[in-house]
Amino acid sequence: MSTPTTPVRTSTFAMTINGRSVTSETTSPVFNPATTEVIAEVPIATPTDLDAAVDAARDAFVTWSATPLEERQALVAAIGDRLEAHAEQFLALLTAEQGKPRPMAEWEVYGSITWFREIAKQSLPEEVLEDTSERRVISRYTPLGVVGAIVPWNFPILLAVWKIAPALVAGNTIIVKPSPFTPLCDLKLVELVQDLLPPGVLSAVSGDDELGKWITAHPGIDKIAFTGSTETGKHVMRSAAETLKRVTLELGGNDPAIVLPDVDPAKVAPQVFWAAFQNNAQFCNAAKRVYIHDDVYDAVRDELVAYARTVVVGNGADPDTQLGPIQNLPQLQKVQEYFDDCAEHGYTFALGGKIDRSASGWFVPVTLVDNPPEDSRLVTEEPFGPILPLLRWSDEADVIARANDTVWGLGATVWGNDLDAVERIGRQLESGTVWLNEVHQYSPHQVFGGHKQSGLGAENSLHGLAEYTNHQTITLNKVPNAVS
């Protein structure tokens, strides 16, 4: 998307380039999705701004990559401490720009603090593969150089942190580009920690999607760490190929949830509900198709409807709110298409089904669609909003095939009391993460990534850290006459 531009206004949000605050001639508005009010203006970077950030990052790389690992780790942990000291400010700002209610904002902000601290404990030690009187062979990891981090709008802080922390620990410098819809927390975070780091080690630039394209094409950037849609991920990969940049792509998903016949419908319903609707279903790992066994289909559907009726949708700043608005207007329009498609095809709404566009914010009612066809848009695509298809199954092999019949492979869940069956089914699902009788459990030490078109590479764990490094083999022939 391209964001509209307006003449510069007084703004407390600036980019950070080479350790300094940088504004721009034109700015772009940021909205509170619960009220649709403009809450800030942010700079729109020019190609010259990006060049300056890259030059500074390349200069800083020389000393940062040579800084002892322990020192880099300590500074990354210190960024976590700094964020914790300002947590209240970030919680409020995150709710204002993203729309998520306080508990979800806490999950994201305190999760980010944990990530800084835990990733700071990670390292990739050298391995001595051979060490004799004649020869030594070492395998080690060296930093890549400058990382361009491109971030989406659903978890603007956490998904930036998943890139900043490992990039810095591994010895790279990094330039963060937030989503134009949610740039405020990322700009503030980068600004807030500048005194902890040498200039140029961590920069932030804001702008529209054009800026993302310049980053992926820039010859001075060595790696792109991208989280966003599969469609954009393909553009990123194409553009990065020109300079053979390394890429980590964390992309879209269409996670199946499989509910077995032995569940207690009243107990499973709230869990499946939150698997699907957490963060107002603007979640790469939201359960986006729920396959419920025929024996319990009606009961689970009815319990889901009953539970959903108790959930409060509203302004995230209101303490009673459990689900906020859709984050931006283009996304609301996209979600509207799924409502229209279901209505046009005459699918049955078990709950919801109509968006009130006269509402003061970009709100969408929780909507459950009762057994739409397997080839409907709602089942085969990623709506990224609170409209969920419930589907019947009766044959285990068939439901596994249907769950896997998608280009995506990000996450999946299985719910049931027969743990053998739960695990047997789970192990046959083609996705990067399979949660059994739980969901959305992440850890800095647990590898995360998509199968198929849900991504390339991984974040978190030592596998994720290794994605910010080159492999290097060093061999030494110790026999003195070898070179004389």
Residue of 41, 284, 342, 467 with catalytic role: 284
Nearer of residues 124 and 211 to ligand NAD, judged by Cβ: 211
For the chain, the first-to-last Cα distance in angstroms comes to 63
The distance of closest approach from Cβ of residue 450 to ligand NAD in the complex, given in angstroms and rounded to an integer, is 6
Q: Provide the token pair at 421.
A: 């069956």
Query: Coil, strand or helix: which one is 21?
Result: strand
Asked if residue 241 lies in contact with residue 165, where contact means CB atoms within 8 angstroms, the answer is no
The distance of closest approach from Cβ of residue 481 to ligand NAD in the complex, given in angstroms and rounded to an integer, is 55
Nearer of residues 33 and 228 to ligand NAD, judged by Cβ: 228
How far is it, in rounded angstroms, from Cα 85 to Cα 408? 39
The DSSP symbol for 313 reads B
How far is it, in rounded angstroms, from Cα 442 to Cα 132? 42
How far is it, in rounded angstroms, from Cα 425 to Cα 166? 33
Nearest to 13 by CA among 38, 36, 43, 37: 43
Residue of 191, 250, 303, 459 with catalytic role: 250
Nearer of residues 153 and 339 to ligand NAD, judged by Cβ: 153
The distance of closest approach from Cβ of residue 67 to ligand NAD in the complex, given in angstroms and rounded to an integer, is 29
Nearer of residues 95 and 179 to ligand NAD, judged by Cβ: 179
Buried/exposed code over 129-164 (b: 16+ C-beta within 10 A; e: otherwise):
eeeeeeeeeeeebebbbbbbbbbbbbbbbbbbbbbb
In the residue annotation, 84 being an active-site residue is answered as no
Residues in the site for ligand NAD, rule: CB under 6 A? 150-154, 159, 177, 179-180, 209, 212-213, 216, 227-229, 232, 235-236, 250-253, 284, 382, 384, 410, 450, 455
53 alpha-carbon distance from chain centroid: 23
Tell me how far apart the 2 most distant CA atoms of the chain are, in Å: 85
The distance of closest approach from Cβ of residue 329 to ligand NAD in the complex, given in angstroms and rounded to an integer, is 12
Nearer of residues 73 and 406 to ligand NAD, judged by Cβ: 406
The distance of closest approach from Cβ of residue 412 to ligand NAD in the complex, given in angstroms and rounded to an integer, is 14
Residue whose C-beta lies closest to ligand NAD? 212
In the residue annotation, 374 being an active-site residue is answered as no
330 alpha-carbon distance from chain centroid: 19
The distance of closest approach from Cβ of residue 371 to ligand NAD in the complex, given in angstroms and rounded to an integer, is 24
Nearer of residues 24 and 232 to ligand NAD, judged by Cβ: 232
Polymer length in residues for the chain: 484
DSSP secondary structure, 340-387, as one string? HHHHHTTPEEEE-----TTSSS-----EEEES--TTSHHHHS---SSE
The distance of closest approach from Cβ of residue 89 to ligand NAD in the complex, given in angstroms and rounded to an integer, is 23
Nearer of residues 119 and 422 to ligand NAD, judged by Cβ: 119
Q: What torsion do the CA atoms of 70, 72, 75, 80 make, to the nearest 10 degrees?
A: -100
Query: Coil, strand or helix: which one is 283?
Result: coil
Q: Which residues are catalytic?
A: 250, 284
